[in-house]
Amino acid sequence: MIKAIKGDITKLEVDAIVNAANELMLGGGGVDGAIHDAAGDELFEACLKVPEVRPGVRCPTGQARITPGFKLPAKFVIHTVGPVYLDGKHGESAKLGNCYRNSLALALENNCKSIAFPCISTGIYGYPIEEAAEIACSEAKAFLAQHENIEIVFCCFLNRDKIIYDKLLAQ
């Protein structure tokens, strides 16, 4: 089951919420900032413990890491790092697709029955929302074709995003 809602992802009572993080994975602005604020300092401590794969990089672009949700209603936070959008000719779509696929795989590994995504890369990282939403919906549909027992929620903070997701999901 896939649905789009409008709201604040930090309030959702789902098994896992996905954070649009950066490769350092120690917080930031946007949804990253909101999730860290709501989860509390323990989330920062948990991120600090995630090993760097190379200096300054705990989570390479397209990959995903999981931590507890601490003060959040969600059990887990799955941190993923979307691509910074340049011109669409630098592998951005493949990297964004990896974010959704790797986050869903990690959710399944942790027996999550529900997962909520923000619109990854479409804020500070500048990904055009229509293209990003198409990638998100096609990855979600492909995943559900293999594993029906997880509910996927696209949590749109902005009305314009919800309208786009609703159109795509109605197809």
Residues engaged in binding ligand APR (CB under 6 A): 8-10, 20-22, 28-34, 82, 118-125, 155, 157-158, 161
Q: Which of 32, 41, 161, 166 is catalytic?
A: 32
User: CA 93, CA 80: separation in Å to the nearest integer?
Assistant: 15
Q: Please, what is the minimum distance in Å from the beta carbon of residue 54 to ligand APR?
A: 17
Q: Please, what is the minimum distance in Å from the beta carbon of residue 134 to ligand APR?
A: 15
Listed in sequence order, the DSSP H helices in 50-119 are 92-109
Minimum CB distance to ligand APR smaller for 50 or for 124? 124
Phi, psi at residue 155, to the nearest 5°?
-95, 105
Amino acid letter, residue 167: K
Minimum CB distance to ligand APR smaller for 9 or for 77? 9
Long-range contacts of 47-55 (CB under 8 A, 24+ apart): 47/79, 50/25
Q: Is 32 tagged catalytic?
A: yes
Which residues are marked as active site?
A: 32
